[in-house]
Amino acid sequence: MTADEVFIHPTAVVAPQAQLDSGVYIGPHCVVGPEVKVGKRTKLEANVYLGGWTTIGEECVFSPYSSVGTEPQDLTYKGERTLVKIGKRNIFREFITINRGTPKGGGITSIGDDNYFMAYSHIAHDCQVGNHTVFINGATLAGHVEVDDFATVGAFSAIHQFCRVGKYAFIGGYSVITQDVCPFLRVAGSRPTWLYGVNAIGLRRQGFSRERINLIKKMIKLLFYSELNTSQAVEKITQEVEPTPDREEILVFIQNSTRGLVKKVAEPWMKNWE
């Protein structure tokens, strides 16, 4: 067998209509439905279910008992043609579940590239997940949730439907998220969710310079650790902080928020941070 040959284990059930690109590996007892497309060198280790109208990119890995493309858990769904679209180089560990979209939610559940989903993670209908995210064991998204690039969702944390998690945000384990998490922040807790400042360690690991992190801290301090309300803080940032991609990331995220922001500060002394 060469690297470009498709391997299908004798115990696997693969519909003849399924589209398998070169180098795909289908392990024991896997099931692949007729509307599924699998990209080059993607591997289904064993007991993996791929159904519905599902498209998967190159070099993804699915651990045993992954279930992808199943019907949305939504009482209004009536069997319509809705999709799951998954990018490249994603890792899906044991027992993850990904539901396809609903007509009312845009019809597609989307996952980008280079994400890591640990065991028992759940991605519900119409969710949009970016690139380079990490979902720790049992992380759960309700429907219509957006998780942006480089975000981390902690173990056994749940995110309420229609909430958004910004770039480079970090959600601690066992959290309940019912409002939007601003980019670059650390949050944790369950009713209420507490804000623990900037995700500085995560930003340093991603190569952010000290100057860049300090500028982010300045904006976050104005937004959440001052006496200003959100509108006043946004105005002050616009006036005092030179335009940068990080500034625009924060301002556009706030502008587009419909559920409000996680703002309850866990450490009031941080008002005086430098």
pLDDT, tens only, 86-132? 999 999 999 999 999 999 999 999 999 999 999 999 999 999 999 99
CA distance 233 to 52: 46
Map tokens 């942006």 to a residue.
148
3-class DSSP state of 214: helix
Q: How far apart are CA 134 and CA 117, in angstroms?
A: 6
203-272: CATH homologous superfamily? Answer: Udp N-acetylglucosamine O-acyltransferase, C-terminal domain (1.20.1180.10)
* DSSP conformation class of 261: B
State the pLDDT confidence band at 151, using cuts at 50, 70 and 90.
very high
CA distance 115 to 40: 17
For the chain, give the percent of residues with pLDDT over 70: 97
In the β-sheet with 37-38, what is the strand arrangement from edge to edge?
19-20, 37-38, 53-56, 83-86, 108-111, 128-129, 146-147, 164-165
Q: What is the DSSP letter of 258?
A: S
Alpha helix (H) ranges present in the chain? 200-205, 210-224, 230-240, 245-255
For the stretch 24-60, pLDDT in tens is: 999 999 999 999 999 999 999 999 999 999 999 999 9
Q: What is the 3-state secondary structure (H, E, C) of 56-115?
A: ECCCCEECCCCEEEECCCCCCCCCCCCEEEECCCCEECCCCEEECCCHHHCCEEEECCCC
Q: 85, 108 in Cβ contact below 8 A?
A: yes
Other CB atoms within 10 Å distance of the CB of residue 90: 24
Q: What is the mean pLDDT of the chain?
A: 96
Contact 32, 38 (CB under 8 A): yes
Position 3 confidence tier, pLDDT thresholds 50, 70, 90: confident
Instruction: Delimit the domains of the chain by residue range.
Output: 7-144, 203-272
Catalytic positions:
125-126, 143
Topology (CATH) of 7-144: UDP N-Acetylglucosamine Acyltransferase; domain 1 (2.160.10)
